[in-house]
Structure 1
Amino acid sequence: MLVGPRPLTFVAVALAAAIVVNSEAASAQPDAGTSQAAKDAARELATKGIELYHKGRFAEALEQIQQAEERYAAPTHRVYIARCLVGLGRLVEAKAMYERLGSEPRPREMAPAVRDAYGAAATELTALEARIPKVAIAIVGASTGAELSIDGNPRPLPAGPIDVDPGSHVVVVTNGERRAERRFSAVEGAKVEVRLELAEAVQEEEQGSLVPAIVLFSVGGAATVVGAVTGGLSLAKVSELEERCVDGHCPASDQDEADFAEALGTTSTVTFAVAGAAVVTGIVLAVVRPGGSSANTGAAATSAKSIVIDPVVAPGFIGVRGRF
């Protein structure tokens, strides 16, 4: 347990005495001409903050005492700032404040409240250090340039366990394009070990353009329209000629029109074949997307670019031919 503050009435009186009486001794820093009004304002803020602290309203107390410290720097303020941080669960910040109190220069003559503040800081720091959780982070696969962050705050790569506040945390390590992330929970007085393995970055393969497939779909659509029109004209012409025939015998004068109808039919068949080949090839190109590249290896890119697909149209056959 941390050493608690003295009874409220005594603390308030002691704090006022530390600020008003012997102002040079009340602070570890020289009095740089602080006005009496600033000292009075600091005393009022600090007294209110201490009252809030004793009521367990640590966030409000911290705000009041920090404002008092801004107006007049005093060890009595800083020890209560550390206590408020402890109450808020911000143990690492509290430790830093206690350590600051322990390392700052002290005047030879100090008011009793100031002497008590320094003594309390040393005692409370010892108790606090036993409560602060520690995390040991092991990074596998890291090389020069690896960066570490805990809860979004950059940290140097640890040579040993790191102090953290109780609660949930996120640790992230990056090394170039490689990244590893782990969540962990820290409990007061406990040590947790976190292991992060930097795997190779998964890089997406860059696919080729859809333009060739779109062009072939357009060609297929246009050929389908042409095939439908010429096929319709051919059927209409054949029907017209058949009406002129008697018992399967057609007038010789209709030969030119019959040849024209046959040509329309042939054109329709060919254009339908082209349409089918274009659509099939377009589907293949839309799926394969040749011409792309992979960021992982040049071989994959070369392989993708080497794919060649040709439509094949022959009597009674429509298809595609590919070379890989």
Structure 2
Amino acid sequence: MRPRPWLRALLFGAASCLCLCTLPAPAAGADAPAATPSPDAVEKAQSLFKKGAALYEGKRYALALEQFRASYAAVASPNSRLYIARCLADLGEHTEAYLEFDQVAAEAAARAATEPRYAQTEQTAQLERDELARKIALVTVAVARPDAAISVSIAGKDVPRERWGKPFPVKPGKTEVVLRTRTTSIPQTLDLSAGEAKTVKLDPEEPGQAGAADGGPALLDEGPSLPEEAPSARAYLRPYAYAAGGVGVAGLAVFTVAGLMANSTYSDLAESCRGPCPIERKDDVDAGKAQQTVANVGVVVGALGLVAGTTLLVLSLTGGSAGEPQRNAASTQLLVGPGFAGLRGTF
């Protein structure tokens, strides 16, 4: 874990002194030693490192990063690079910082073989790298046949061949891994959480993994597509048809109820009066007439509603696309007589 603030400050001072003491030493990369730096280069690197250290202590990480990078360019010291990684981490560039810590550890390990003082730098870089891994996700791509692959990219970044099979840092969330060959690409999407590490095994010659030659996923040939049936230009009439049909059904329901009530009233009057009803039964006679009127209105409303609903429904189902003439027109007609009501239509 990262040291506490007071301990970190103590370590910072110690590391700064160590860095300034080791800058004159021969600079070396991870693989081969480099020429001994000149005194002027050492002096420049020390000056830039001091400026970077002061800026870092003041939490001005972006400016400190510039100074540490300039110091490392003058004399390639693993200690300068360690602070480059720390600046990136404090700036929120976690994936870049992880890669930088990894390079610091490798470079310090190579220098420690002849300069043991860099062993502490290696251990510090490894500890801070592993602590940073809790905030990101790590993807390891294992390529079955590396010679058949051209490139590997993770989250849109090309992964150097020397990092194949090693953890590569990505931001938590959805990440796309793409393995490319000369003719195909093999994509795979991962959903990773912070602190998660996952290994992806890809074989460029395994059947069924090949994608499109231009880097996109392969698309299956499903044959010629069938033309979609264009919706009727009068489909908007369907809700009105349902509404009119509902009114028609309600009207017929009123006709049925009111008709039954009227028949019941007239039957009662006919049985009790047995001829013209006396004046005291006038209210019952008026009620029967009102019930008959309601029944008549109900049958008319019901018939009209059903006619309108049927007409609109037929038009919504048979109407062609916009501008297309209709060859067969639907026609309906309401028939209402003294003792009946009905529909007549042609289709």
TM-score by length of 2: 0.42
TM-score by length of 1: 0.45
